[in-house]
Structure 1
Amino acid sequence: MALWLLRSGRHCEHESKFLNENRIYLTWSGFKQNLSKLKDRKELHEYLEKFYPDFTKAHRSQNSGQIWAFTKRMKAGDWVCMPSKRKTIHIGEITGNYVYSDDAENPYYHHRTINWIETDVPRTNFDQDLLYSLGSISTICQIKRNDSEERIRAMQANGWKSVGVSIKTPVTNGDDDQDIVNGNEQEIDIEEIANDHIARTIQAKFKGHGLEALVEAILKAKGFTTHRSDKGADGGIDILAAPDTLGFGQPRICVQVKSQDSPLERPVLDQLVGTMQHVGADQGLLVCWGGFKKTIKHELPRLFFKVRMWDRSDLIDEFLKVYNDLDEDIKADIPLKRVWAVANQDNDDED
């Protein structure tokens, strides 16, 4: 069996479709060609020369490797890691062969069925070397380095927590796809890896009630006056916040913060809404490091004008927006430096 990295689009824009339909797709726009009829990689290269006449040879070769992997090399029983726009990882097992559907909606002509074993596994649960492999900018590649497959399969039995590193000599299969679809050789997404480091630092420095302090600091940097409850029973109130110097402005916000790694259940949202009414808050903010169950997400449209929810990804985004305005103690705990890097202009993606 093998382990694959597969992205649901450059910006995870196809993520919901992949999850809801229990399918993974090749999402190269307009790519209508029954690839099951291809005899070999040479024939695929010839087709890509016609389909992408303006691409460089290297770019076509990169696409060729990924397409060949999806159609010919992936097998039922292989596992797939799919990064989420929520900064988590979805893990599934391929259950079907490659299928071409000529009448499908663009770009969903090519698919395989998949059983999603676990969704939204926090990226901080993975060892850093695995995150480097999963940080490849490729849409599809096989992950082999450092017993990646064995370790991720073992995580399932360990509650999706790290099982440590046991490095063996990498095994290669000797085929000509090695340099194209082997995750070890791919460029990595530097921004994603940087966010992983920030997430690990926040988790280490602001455990438990410490996360409340970070959320309060972010709100203060946004111009709110705040009141944070003492440790212990808080009646569902971790932070109260409002604009103006004395905090008499509007909107008046009631904040509940959960530092747990697991997704939050619906009762906490109901408690927050009740507490908002009790203290006369106009709006509520629910923060959970581990994200939210579907039962909570389904309530978002109904509560759009009353409640906002921040998961790990949202919290980091808000933290970065106001970083320069945070107090010096916070910046000392999480020292960041802005760097500029050339963006990859020859991305393998399909859209």
Structure 2
Amino acid sequence: MANAAWVIRSGRYGERDEWALENSCSGGGWREVPDLTSASSREDVQRIVDEAYPQDSPGARTNFVAQLWALRGRIEVGDLLAMPMKTTREIALGRVTSPYTFFAENEPGYRHVVGVEWIRQVPRSALKQDLLYTLGSSLTIFSPSRNSAVSRLEHVLATGTDVGSGALAQSPRASAAPTQTSGTDVVDEPESQPDIDVIARDQISSRIGEEFSGHSFATLVAALLRAEGFDAEEAPPGPDGGIDITAGRGLLGLESPKLIVQVKTPQIGSDVVSQLNGLVHTHGADYGLLVTWAGLTKPARDAVKHQRFRVKVWESEDVVEAVLRNYEKLPEKITERLPLRRVWMLKE
């Protein structure tokens, strides 16, 4: 069991997602901050941050210090590390293999890191709503501790599934109150700064996963394609030869782009990508669309990259985006099972 669990985000838009995976590390950001290797205390980091961000408010600088000190002085080798990925809507999990390092040769924004052995990537839909909420802070670096986060993330790392807080005995660390180095060390209180947009999307994702399993997931996808302007024909339940939906433009659905669609709730392997590519060619379609609720294996993701002009993928976040984009156009039988309302709020 790791001593602690940490979350490190990889940029507002996920710009460091692939970089972190390819370079076996996590961190970055804080372009103006110099090397922290010589900083042996939180007070040392405070002085460096005050010099780097004199124009920011004391509260903002305190926030930066708490996160940077976690990266420099609190994250230890062996700790579990989670990286929510904006680009794929997955959560990468691994172990810290080396402490804070400053890569002066890297461009700004890619210099402050810890080494990580990445072990598993899971879709957000693999985590239950309360754990997603715990991970839903707007902070870049924090230590999730509520809802048995440590023991549950350990289980996800080992098995790829989240069994919930009630199914796992809480470790002393997981059940204890958050540990803080000072009253202003906010990195152990992520729930105080939730990312409302992420939380709302996770709730919608959870409802879709509950309401549209099995063949009904294909029904939802067909409805989304019709809302996008396609004439979509859904295969009946049962053996389908690898084709769940055919779709095309025009009055009869015979005009381009013509799609062959496979819809899968489990994770997709590279064999499915190969099968779909063959079906596109055999049936004279223009493109293949893979819709997966549980994501793709790494071999499947690599296979898609080599077929990027032939095969498109919709993962769970793409389905949620399509629902939000076309909600008013969806049939009542869909919206009754997925009741949503639009909310406007001030942007912070």
TM-score between the two structures when normalised by the length of structure 2: 0.91
Unpaired stretches in structure 1, ≥5 consecutive residues = 345-351
Partner of 1:348: none
Residues 137-176 of structure 1: pairs in structure 2 closer than 5 A: 137-165=138-166, 170-176=176-182
Partners of 1:256 and 1:336 lie apart in 2 by: 27
**Equivalent residue of 2:62, what SS?**
helix
Question: Aligned in 2, Cα 1:130/1:177: closer, same or farther, shift over 3 Å?
Answer: farther
Partner of 1:253: 259
Partner of 1:243: 249
Partners of 1:88 and 1:94 lie apart in 2 by: 19
Q: CA deviation at 1:288?
A: 1.3
- Please tell me whether the aligned partners of residues 63 and 185 of structure 2 are also in contact (alpha carbons under 8 angstroms): no
Task: Please provide the CA RMSD for this pair.
Answer: 2.0
Question: Aligned in 2, Cα 1:304/1:77: closer, same or farther, shift over 3 Å?
Answer: closer
- Please tell me whether the aligned partners of residues 155 and 163 of structure 1 are also in contact (alpha carbons under 8 angstroms): no
Amino acid at match of 1:234: D
Partners of 2:184 and 2:143 lie apart in 1 by: 9
Partners of 1:304 and 1:159 lie apart in 2 by: 27
Partner of 1:191: 197
Provide the identity percentage: 33
Q: CA deviation at 1:185?
A: 4.8
- Please tell me whether the aligned partners of residues 272 and 284 of structure 1 are also in contact (alpha carbons under 8 angstroms): yes
Amino acid at match of 1:198: I
Amino acid at match of 1:238: D
Does 2:326 match 1:330?
A: no
Partner of 2:212: 206
**Equivalent residue of 1:241, what SS?**
strand
Moved more, 95-104 or 67-76: 95-104
What is the aligned length?
340
Does 2:116 match 1:110?
A: no
TM-score between the two structures when normalised by the length of structure 1: 0.90
Q: CA deviation at 1:201?
A: 0.9
Partners of 1:159 and 1:302 lie apart in 2 by: 26
Amino acid at match of 1:200: S
Amino acid at match of 2:247: A
Question: Which is bigger in relative contact order (C-alpha 8 A, separation at least 6)?
Answer: 1
- Please tell me whether the aligned partners of residues 209 and 259 of structure 1 are also in contact (alpha carbons under 8 angstroms): no
**Equivalent residue of 1:58, what SS?**
helix
Question: Aligned in 2, Cα 1:283/1:139: closer, same or farther, shift over 3 Å?
Answer: same
Partners of 1:2 and 1:82 lie apart in 2 by: 15
**Equivalent residue of 2:214, what SS?**
coil
Amino acid at match of 1:153: E
- Please tell me whether the aligned partners of residues 242 and 249 of structure 1 are also in contact (alpha carbons under 8 angstroms): yes
Partner of 2:23: 21
Partner of 1:347: none
Question: Aligned in 2, Cα 1:277/1:34: closer, same or farther, shift over 3 Å?
Answer: closer
Partner of 2:289: 285
